[in-house]
Structure 1
Amino acid sequence: MKKITVLEMQNATKGVLICGKQDTMIEGIAIDSREVAAQDAFFAIVGEEQDGHIYAKKAAENGCRAIVVHNKQIADEIKEIRSDIAILLVQDTTRALQDLAEWYLSLFPIKKIGVTGSTGKTTTKEMLYAVISQKYKTLRNLGNFNNHIGLPLTIFHLNDDIEVGIFEMGMSEFGEIHRLADIVRPNYAVITNVGTSHIEYLKTRENILKAKMEITDYFQKEDQLFVNEDNDMLSKEVLLQCIQEKKKEDDSYCESFQIITAGESKEADFQLSNRKDLGENGIEFTITNENTTEDFFLPLLGNHNGLNAMLAVAVGMSLGISLKEAAEGLANIESTNRRLNIEERNGIKLIDDTYNASPDSMKAAIDVLMSISGTRKIAILADILEMGDVAEEYHYQVGEYASHKEVDVVISVGKNAKFIAEGAKAASKNTAVIYHEEKETLINKLEEFLKSGDVVLVKGSNGMRMTEIVKKVRSL
């Protein structure tokens, strides 16, 4: 992080300095008192489960230079412990963190890329990083730092060497991406797809599209939106209708930015063709733009990753990176933790895709399972959360899909996962179907059920904690 002063923090957050000096230098931002360093400013963030104010005094004891709080009593208590520390009192610490990140980002004349979508955000972000790093010093979110706290923390890793920033933006309801876009003000935006993730809160896919399109809320006419036009909600016709509606709601909204399409149709600006699934060795495909064509190899599981790759390549070319350079970058990409990672233990091939789940990503993971060589193909599938009133329908469809793809054994786990079992049973008599409402019951039976030669997919929403299943399979 570039050094900043407490005065600059005070101005950016509109805080009140109640203790300490304005010329105190800050070299890092922390929200965890256990990780705070002597040169850091600690923000007492109030989360869903923890209130950072509880740990503010501990952060002070650990030697940080400044503390940002919105609780006056806590501020006074810290002042009693350390009179040398800078204490900023703000209206809301989370908003203050965001405001500081927005100001800090404005110090750097970098190209900014925003990435969102129902599925594939993180993978596409990593592909963008692999492509763009071929030519530019690049920063991107680490891990799942894609929300109202994680994204600002990512920004504080910027320094004067960085030329391009890639910012993944997650959401579950209206307004969330709008706020992240306000902080970042992206020049380029990617929407990977519009599916059914978070449909419990947004009710319709049309609303999901509208929420995703908030990524363009601060666009200027020279900015560019990149989309997978094979997705039914991301055709130019649908997008233009959404843009017109946004313009009606907000006359200041810029509707004249460029839309760049990628897909398997000949009308797409970037055409994807010749996708070939190589199983556990990765995938191959071809991308054509105007009169230039390049063959690609991607060492990641899943033929669907060609769709994510074409978007990364398209953005890269807008930044002056050739198809050949993009291919070289993608050939060296590494898989992301808990996203279709494959490993072998005692003759059992384990596909760990436990980071999260949606109906579309469940089906893509099943495709991956079926592409891996092995004796039995076993899908252990848990609840897809945040599906609301359509949970039964979409879980049932996943079960049907698994049977149609001829998965040998479908094991479903969780309350709504019973509908996966029902769908699988109804679709085929060739697929063995097992249902457990509780993980513990399944865990106790895995050792006697799994055997050498099996290929096992484990997938479910993050809240289902399917990592416990993965841990058990690894121990066999």
Structure 2
Amino acid sequence: MLEKLKYEGYKFKIDSRKLEKGDVFLCLKGEKTDGHNYIDDALSKGASYIIVDKKINDFSNKKIIKVDNVLTEMLSSSSKIINQKSKIKIGITGSTGKTTTKEFLLYLLLPFFKTFRNELNMNTEIGIPLCILNDYNDEEIVILEEGLQKIGDLEYLSNYFNYDVAIITNVGSSHLKYLNTIETVAKEKMKITNKMEKGLLIINGDYPILKDLAPPQLNILTFGKNKNNNAVLENYEYNENFTTTVYAKLFDEDAMFTFNGYWSEGQILDLLSCLLFLRYLDLAIEPYYLSNIKVPPDRFQIIKRNNLTIINDSYNASYDSFKSAFESIKKMNIFPKTIIMGEIKELGNYSEEYHKKVIEEASKTFDVIYFYDPHKQFSYLNDPKLEFFEDLSNIAKFIQNSKGLLYIKASNATGINNYIKERGLF
């Protein structure tokens, strides 16, 4: 039903505060609020239609359309649109690197195909259909990033979106609060393939569990650092002219690429997964075009300021992404090295274990470690290089007084990323 409204030119909103005249308001029930409570507000702002799944006694208005379930209707309509219109549907998931892989793949495919992807972190059962309903314009290729928080999330989405290609970037400690073990994370990530009777699966082959779980009916390609992968990252180096040179093998053929800026090891691996797909389609990889690819903002983003090199990696954090970034920073011939870091969220009972590991790894890489601890929860952390701070305003002071290399990383929920943006520090 919603697809009809989409092709009549309507836009869809789930937040009545952002509603504009002529929009369709979708009444979703969340944990803290219910869209049905804002029907009056939506009508007063000129909504064309209100989509509800509750009986509304106060309104006989023809603008109100009742469905069995608003979220199910969103998923059903949006998946029907892309399943019918697109030629290749690509699903991307993983503990880290999902958005980077999605943006890289979009950049590489655009010269050959009209390509659509869900915006930024709109990777949930609500964000994905909303992006499709509002922004999809019958593109040939659809790339959808799927996030995972709890058991069943990807299985639920796979009931709607039938992928031709699935990419799993890696498996790590993200969301252990809800998923308990790395094995559970891997099993849940693999559920992105649940409805794939045929097609291509691209996985990080450095994780044996992903190989073990891969459905046998799919074509499997692997990338990683191990020599037995289809795409192998052999080495990379940072050059004085602020470029990164990568040495790799693609299907046993030597390859060398040079990128503008300094790339992290994780970003290079993300790119290799995309290059595998291009080779699979027998598409040309133009070195000059490849050299100008850009990483998404706030993800190992390099800012040069006189005698200071800032690496803004503040979008989000996990133990695995910290460790990967540290390996890259060790290769950089810039001194001294300082880190501003914050908590890794959603670790549950594993929080103390993984924070201790991060500090241990950080101590091997950095000369000074600043740790944001506003609630004084991490006093168990102990290292001679470690200094705690409780006020976000200290970040501006650290930046002003630092030289050499300054790396910034924390989970998004700590507020560090928002503080940097709001203050316009970079």
Q: Deviations over 1:246-295 (max 9, x none)?
A: xxxxxxxxx41111112333322223323223489342223433464432
Q: Specify which of 332, 335, 340 is matched with residue 292 of structure 2.
A: 332
**How far did residue 371 of structure 1 move?**
5.0
Does structure 1 conserve the Cα–Cα contact (< 8 Å) formed by 2:226 and 2:232?
yes
Indicate yes or no: 2:421 matched with 1:458: no
Select which of 205, 209, 213 maps to 1:239.
213
Select 2:95's aligned residue among 118, 124, 144.
118
| Matched residue count | 422
Aligned to 1:183: 160
Matches within 5 A, 1:6-17: none
Cα separation, 1, equivalents of 2:395 and 2:362? 22
Whether contact under 8 Å (2:3, 2:77) holds in the other structure is: no
Distance 2:259 2:330 in 1: 18
SS at 1:167's partner residue?
strand
2:51 match: 68
TM-aligned CA distance change 1:349 to 1:265, over 3 Å: closer
> Which is worse superposed, 210-219 or 91-100?
91-100
- Conserved? CA contact 2:104–2:293, under 8 Å: yes
Shift in Å at residue 29 of structure 1?
2.1
Paired residues of 2:338 and 2:406 also in contact (CA < 8 A):
yes
Structure 2, unpaired ranges of 5+: none
Residue 90 of structure 2 contacts residue 164 of structure 2 at CA under 8 Å; is this kept in 1? yes
Equivalent runs, 1:43-54 vs 2, <5 Å: 43-54=26-37
The secondary structure found in structure 1 opposite 2:163 is: coil
Which residue number corresponds to residue 5 of structure 1? 4
Q: In structure 2, what residue type is equivalent to 1:272?
A: L
Find the counterpart in structure 1 of residue 105 from structure 2.
128
For 2:330 and 2:127, how far apart are their aligned partners in 1? 35
Query: For residue 434 of structure 1, what is the aligned residue in structure 2?
Result: 387
Q: Is the 8 A contact 1:60 1:78 kept in 2?
A: no
CA-based RMSD of the aligned residues comes to 2.9
Q: Residue deviations 1:360-380, cap 9 Å, x none? A: 111233345455565432111
| Structure-1 residue corresponding to 2:357 | 397
Distance 1:88 1:434, change over 3 A: same
TM-score in terms of structure 1 length: 0.80
Contact in 1 for aligned 2:97/2:266 (Cα 8 Å): no
Shift of the 454–403 alpha-carbon distance from structure 1 to 2, 3 Å rule, reads: same
Amino acid in structure 2 at the alignment position of 1:466: I
- 8 Å Cα contact 1:264-1:273 kept in structure 2: yes
Letter in 2 for 1:175: G
Q: What is aligned with 1:158? A: 136
Residue of structure 1 in register with 2:268 after alignment: 306
User: Which residue identity lines up with residue 200 of structure 2 in the other structure?
Assistant: Q
Residues 1:50 and 1:378: Cα distance change in structure 2 (over 3 Å): farther
Calculate percent identity across the aligned residue pairs: 30
Question: d(CA) in 2 for partners of 1:445 and 1:42?
Answer: 40
Counterpart mapping for 1:95-244 below 5 A = 95-156=72-133, 157-160=135-138, 162-221=139-198, 223-234=199-210, 236=211, 238-239=212-213, 243=215
Q: What residue ranges of structure 1 are gaps of 5+ in the alignment?
A: 10-23, 244-254
Residue by residue, what CA displacement relative to the aligned partner does 1:150-185 show, whole Å, maximum 9, x if unpaired?
11122222223x111110000012210112222221
Match of 1:467 among 413, 417, 425: 417
Look up the equivalent residue of 1:377 and give its one-letter code: K
Name the aligned partner's letter for residue 117 of structure 2: R
Partner of 2:225: 264
> Using the alignment, how far apart are the partners of 2:398 and 2:278 within structure 1?
49
Q: For residue 257 of structure 1, what is the amino acid of its counterpart? A: L
CA distance in 1, matches of 2:143, 2:222: 19
Mapped to 2, the partners of 1:113 and 1:187 lie a distance apart of 6
The answer (yes or no) to whether the contact 2:337–2:405 under 8 Å persists in 1 is yes
Letter of the structure 2 residue corresponding to residue 359 of structure 1: Y
Question: 1:94-142, CA deviations, whole angstroms, 9 ceiling, x for partnerless residues?
Answer: 2222122122223303201000001111111111111111211111111
Structure 2 contact 232–248 (Cα < 8 Å) conserved: yes
Look up the match of 1:388: 348
Shift of 1:202: 1.1
TM-score (norm 2): 0.89
Tell me, in whole angstroms, the C-alpha distance in 1 between the residues paired with 2:257 and 2:399: 39
C-alpha deviation, 1:41, in angstroms = 2.1
Say if 1:448 and 1:159 are closer, same or farther in 2 by CA, change over 3 A. Answer: closer
Alpha-carbon shift at residue 39 of structure 1 (Å): 4.6
Post-superposition CA distance 1:308-353 (Å, at most 9, x none): 111011112223323x23x444322222122122324575443222
Indicate if the aligned counterparts of 1:130 and 1:329 stay in contact, CA closer than 8 A: no
Amino acid at match of 2:255: E
Secondary structure at the counterpart of residue 304 of structure 1: helix
Which deviates more from structure 2 when the two are superposed, residues 111-120 or residues 332-341?
332-341
Q: 1:47 to 1:338 in 2, by over 3 A?
A: farther
User: C-alpha displacement at 1:188, in angstroms?
Assistant: 0.3
Rate the CA distance shift 1:409–1:71 in 2: closer, same or farther, 3 A. same
Q: Specify which of 355, 371, 379 is matched with residue 412 of structure 1.
A: 371
Q: Give the distance between the partners of 1:416 and 1:33, measured in 2 at CA.
A: 37
Aligned partner of 2:234 among 270, 273, 289: 273
Query: How far 1:147 sits from its partner (Å)?
Result: 0.8
Counterpart residue type for residue 401 of structure 2 = K
